[in-house]
Structure 1
């Protein structure tokens, strides 16, 4: 695993995995599944690094045209880790990501639970969530 913010933007391959830095220690089984998906795993802690810095760094990596797939993976229920899943939407505002597959996972009890883009988008809309909750 490499530190995202200390890695060169050209040190990328076809598939990159961006994880919350605590994932490996919090859920080793789920992390092992990510290692099966790609050996290019980068960690970042959004308690330490502002999300805008992460957006800029990943944007630079994508600009190299070497990346075809990004996987974002975090532990579940962490407000800081949840932000990592929001990076993709900010990148979409900056550049065309039509040729890049983006997947999101949260680690739960050794498993990787796939999270839909719509779920991530909805999680930022508390008013809509509240109306759905009141049903």
Structure 2
């Protein structure tokens, strides 16, 4: 991640865990994060990645898988991509749409 973007993330939270989905399978990440949530001590989760990475985008998909497994109503989840050292918030709806290419094709004329 871009250093200045990371510094901005540190201003939001001091509890930052690094994860590279090139090295760790997304299913393992889901299991580990799900276990952390089940402790009842997690109230906020921020998924922050670089933009345009085929591996990093999976990080944002983790929340959808977790929602299938457990109730996340009491967990505040935010998503960011870092572009030019800026944190850009991404909505859950946009993340879900990015998984549905046929629907995305209808909404974007390229």
TM over 0.5: yes
2:71 maps to 96
Offset from partner CA, 1:29-69 (integer Å, 9 cap, x none): 11001111111110111111110000000000000000100
TM-score (norm 1): 0.79
Higher share of residues assigned strand? 1
Q: Is 1:36 equivalent to 2:11 in the alignment?
A: yes
Q: Equivalents in 1 of 2:104, 2:92: separation in Å?
A: 15
Of structures 1 and 2, the one with the larger relative CO (CA 8 A, separation 6+) is 2
* 1:67 matches 2:42: yes
Match of 1:87 in 2: 62
Q: Distance in 2 between matches of 1:28 and 1:115?
A: 20
Say how many residue pairs are matched.
Answer: 110
CA RMSD of aligned residues (A): 1.0
Aligned equivalents of 2:65, 2:36: Cα separation in 1: 14
- Segments ≥4 residues shifted beyond 6 Å: none
In structure 2, C-alpha distance between the alignment counterparts of 1:99 and 1:133, rounded to whole Å = 33
Structure-2-length-normalised TM-score? 0.97
TM superposition shift of 1:131: 1.6
Q: Which runs of 5+ in 1 are unaligned?
A: 1-22
Q: Name stretches of at least 5 consecutive residues in structure 2 with no aligned partner.
A: none
- Local SS of the residue matching 1:79: coil
Q: 1:57 aligns with which of 22, 29, 32?
A: 32
